Amino acid sequence: MLARNALEILLASPRGFCAGVDRAIQIVEQSIEKWGAPIYVRHEIVHNKHVVQRLSDLGAVFVEELDECPDDRPVIFSAHGVPKSVPKEAAKRNMIYVDATCPLVSKVHVGAERHYSEGREIILIGHEGHPEVIGTMGQLPDGVISLVQDADDARNFMPKSDKGLAYVTQTTLSVDDTVEIVSILEARFPDIAKPHKEDICYATTNRQEAVKILSQRADLLLVIGSKTSSNSLRLKEVGLREGIKAAHLIDDYSDIDWNWFDGVKTLALTAGASAPEDLVKGVITACNEKFEVTLTEVNIRNEDVVFKLPRALEQ
């Protein structure tokens, strides 16, 4: 029997579920327990097909819009947040609804509303079409918030008035990209108002920092997460920016092309904030079947954040 090649796996920590994702999943599970199936969820509760499939098997029905939901069944709003018009319409229809918006996304909403109430024009740094961006822009009247997606947008942005500017950001952006965009805006508009505390969430920041460290020591980076997951996509980009030879975003071990491992001695492995830990274990098991694996967990920071469940489910 031929000896298997050695492979060192550097396992990023923290990785996987953040507090907001964990809370959102619990909300769906406990809503099914409380009200029975089916319960409806407007948009994917989090961007991970494995999580969505498991909750579907329990009795969750995922829809894109509220008008796909019957009046007599509970509906849950996803962790990404929704425009104000959505709960308003649900209340008008006398629906039972539970808002699973991540509290850190809600903080961005509150910040945008505060700036608006103080008379400022608002810039949202984020990616067009992402549910979180749609939800944040939907907190205020149409046209109040201007979207800036990249450094070029920041250079070309022109205020609509002279009443003062403020910016807020999507929570799952690249930390480095956002620093660049903010520095451009602050250089152009020195008096621009900023968030009291950075809007990019702790989990996004921690996972990107871990990838930066691991990318200096590895030949290949695998990020477990869905293609629709903003924070997972950013992890792959961070690895490539740090100079790792190759980086791939995979849903699970079945996406692995073993040709990627030609000449690879060290693998950096992480998971986006909406990817469950069993998918990480699946990749490690698959690697164990091909290589003589040495596993090293690289912990850059401990996370102990926990968010309370909505009152309707706490009772």
Looking at 162, 183, 200, which one is the last position of a domain?
200
Whether 220 and 235 share a structural domain: yes
Question: 177-206 burial by CB neighbour count: b if 16+ within 10 A, else e?
Answer: bbeebbebbeeebeebbbbeeebbbbbbeb
Q: Which pLDDT value is given to residue 60?
A: 98
CATH of the domain at 220: 3.40.1010.20
Residue 313 domain flag: no
Lowest-pLDDT choice from 6-10, 13-17, 158-162, 289-293: 158-162
Q: Which pLDDT value is given to residue 315?
A: 59
Contact by Cβ (8 Å): 208, 235: yes
Predicted confidence band of residue 161 (pLDDT cuts 50, 70, 90): confident
For residue range 61-74, what is the model confidence (pLDDT) as tens digits? Answer: 999 999 999 999 99
Residue 12 domain flag: yes
Structural domain boundaries enclosing 214? 6-17+202-299
Q: Which amino acid makes up residue 4?
A: R
Of 3 and 165, more confident: 165
Whole-angstrom Cα distance, residue 140 to residue 55? 32
Counting Cα atoms < 13 Å in the Cβ hemisphere of 209 gives 14
Residue 266 domain flag: yes
Residue 123 domain flag: yes
Residue 192 domain flag: yes
For the chain, helix, strand, coil in percent to 5 are 40, 20, 40
Whether 284 and 215 share a structural domain: yes
Whether 114 and 141 share a structural domain: yes
**Mean of the pLDDT values across residues 251-266?**
97
Residue 293 domain flag: yes
For residue range 270-284, what is the model confidence (pLDDT) as tens digits? Answer: 999 999 999 999 999
Taking each continuous run of H as one helix and of E as one strand, the counts in the chain are: 11, 12
Q: Which pLDDT value is given to residue 198?
A: 79
Looking at 170, 200, 230, which one is the last position of a domain?
200
Residue 311 domain flag: no
For residue range 227-256, what is the model confidence (pLDDT) as tens digits? Answer: 999 999 999 999 999 999 999 999 999 999
Whether 94 and 129 share a structural domain: no
Task: Say what the pTM is.
Answer: 0.93
For residue range 111-132, what is the model confidence (pLDDT) as tens digits? Answer: 999 999 999 999 999 999 999 9
Active-site positions read 132
Domain total of the chain: 3
Whether 93 and 113 share a structural domain: no
Whether 212 and 281 share a structural domain: yes
The mean pLDDT value of the chain amounts to 95
Looking at 176, 200, 224, which one is the last position of a domain?
200
Whether 144 and 218 share a structural domain: no
Q: Does the structure show a pLDDT above 60 at 1?
A: no
For residue range 38-96, what is the model confidence (pLDDT) as tens digits? Answer: 999 999 999 999 999 999 999 999 999 999 999 999 999 999 999 999 999 999 999 99
Contact by Cβ (8 Å): 232, 249: yes
Q: Which pLDDT value is given to residue 197?
A: 79
Predicted confidence band of residue 2 (pLDDT cuts 50, 70, 90): low
Residue 304 domain flag: no
Whether 279 and 293 share a structural domain: yes
